[in-house]
Chain A
Amino acid sequence: MPFPPDEIEELKLCYSDLAAGQEGGVEFMSIPKLRLPPGCIPAIVDALFCPYGRGDGYASRLFLSQQIAHNGRGKNWNAAGIVILGNRWWAVSWNAIPAAGQASRPRLAAILAAHLEAFQ
């Protein structure tokens, strides 16, 4: 599913260097230098955003280029150093949006914000 242009423009207000990539029929978005919520160490990491899921039980996922220290509720790093699009990524188990039953899909910015709540 291609990313809706208006939602991309919305995201680009905060992250200008967005890029799209595909693997295994799944769309990914690269977000370089993603600023994490206060309290995260490090505060800025590269991220790989998978807003429409990759068939692993999560409706969407946010992968980070490294495991971070934080005070949020997302403590279960169940993707640790996995390889996607040639790089290694870490992600916490976090259902940012329900996997099914969503009448209207949230906007990309809203999905990303919901993922960042895991680290708040």
Chain B
Amino acid sequence: MTKTIIKIPRSLFAAALEDLARPHRFAYERVGFFSTKCSTTKNLTLVHCIEYHPVADVHYIRDRSVGARINSAAITEAMARCTNSGVGQIHVHTHGESSGLPNPSTVDRTELPGLIRSLRNVSETNSCGWAILSADNAWLSVVLPRNNVPIERIAVSIIGSRMVVSKRIPCRPKRFWLTQQSFFLLAERFKRQSFLGPESSRIFSTCTIGLVGLGGSGSHANQQLAHLGFECVVMSDGDRVTATNLNRTVNATTADVRRKRSKTDLAERYYRRVLKGARIVNRRTRWENAMEELMACNIIVGSLDTFAARSDLEAFCRRHLIPYVDVGMDVIQSGAFHEIVGQVILSMPGKPCMRCMGFLTDKLLSREAQSYGVAGGRPQVIWSNGVLCSAAVGIVVDLLTGWSGRNQESLYLNFRGSDLSLTQDPRLEHVIKNNCPHYPLTDAGDPAWSRL
């Protein structure tokens, strides 16, 4: 059976709620539409909400039997968006709940499926449906591409800070915990991190984190996610552990080098020791070969070797509306001494990307392309990898739990090894309020080709 996840960027979610809360001259409530595009694979369909469209005041009809009724012009506009822009439409309204999963009313169930059938007739290759929003969740009924049966039990993910990942996400925690771990252990295990919120254990057992690169940096992130209790991880790395990895890859041993174990196998071994019931997808290959598994992730943490690879992974994450946390470090000559430099970047779909932040530049990528084959192995040390990955895991936890209350959707932290400082890059404040021109939300989903 195909898994389905609906993704709504928080900026659109907030815009919709703000619009729907506005009073109308005579209608009791307002409605709007999300435009949607899909990412589809054999076993997974992601439905991305990419734009919000309010319904103009003049398109409401007086009807005391329902909260809001819109005229044919509003529906024609929605249909036109389907045909002209190749998108689907999701009809949205709210019942005013402040939190939790809203429920559809009898009127909703009677009236809205007919509207969706009409929209569906002009948008067979995209997803159409209807949704009810609460302040922090959404109930949806959608018809998927090339399918005529509406589905309702769908995982919803609100992308932003704080992220919301609904309970019905496919990667469920196993019942293993309840059967094989003692109740005492279950209750005590996460006691010291209870400040992360009453929902944190549920969130950690529900979310899927992608780890791309499990060498010096990724092995730290892997270790910390296991201890925090993240039960679903996708690991991807095509390398096997060598003697040069032993100075920084946590948990790697000389026996692993002798046996030429893959880095993901080491990561899985550690993870299972800490969190026995974890659900791990172990892909001993480059991330490009694990795209389907990574598409299902809620957040991806990347520790890649090159700037070009970072750029490609960020493009992938943007296409599928996945927040991307990038970690990297380098050692440079600084006068007679050395300096360790590094970065932790949070690249949120719709918000400034690594190019907007000035981290990835044509000059940098060009220089890297020119030095191809002569750069050799880059210097790496364990303590700086540890600092950077601890920050990355901290960003992941804050995104999901919102424990700090800062709700930061973009981050660019610079690490300097000589004074062990981690400071915000000054360039970020100049771009943080801008939407990303390189990866607009409208480019999400399967690539749209226009015939020439």
Chain A positions within 8 Å of B, measured between CB atoms, are: 3, 8, 12, 17-25, 29-30, 55-58, 76, 78, 81-86, 88, 93, 99
Contacts and interface: CB of A to CB of B under 8 A. Distances in A.
A21 B158 CA distance: 27
Given A29-B452, A55-B365, A81-B286, 7 more contacts: A18-B451, A19-B450, A21-B449, A76-B373, A82-B288, A83-B312, A86-B319
A83 B362 contact: no
B378 interface: no
B315 A57 contact: no
B179 interface: no
Interface stretch (B131-139, B322-330, B440-448): B440-448
Given A25-B438, A78-B372, A19 B452 contact: yes
B288 A19 contact: no
A86 B451 CA distance: 17
B142 to A, nearest CB: 22
A88 B285 CA distance: 14
Interface in B356-371: 361-362, 365-370
B451 A76 contact: no
B450 A93 contact: no
Contact of A93 (B369, B446, B451): B369
Q: Which 9 A-B pairs have the closest CB atoms?
A: A57-B366, A57-B369, A19-B449, A55-B362, A18-B452, A85-B447, A25-B438, A56-B365, A24-B438
A3 B449 CA distance: 14
Interface string B343-381: 000000000010100000110011111101100000000
Q: Which of the listed residues B365, B449, B451 has the most CB atoms from chain A within 10 Å of its own CB?
A: B449
B363 to A, nearest CB: 9
Contacts, number: 78
A33 B362 CA distance: 30
B365 A57 contact: yes
A81 to B, nearest CB: 5
Contact of A57 (B319, B370, B437): B370
Given A22-B443, A81-B286, A58 B452 contact: no
A25 B437 contact: yes
A114 B439 CA distance: 30
A66 to B, nearest CB: 13
Contacts of A21: 447-450
A93 B288 CA distance: 20
A85 B444 CA distance: 10
Contacts of B451: 17-19
A97 to B, nearest CB: 15
A12 B451 CA distance: 11
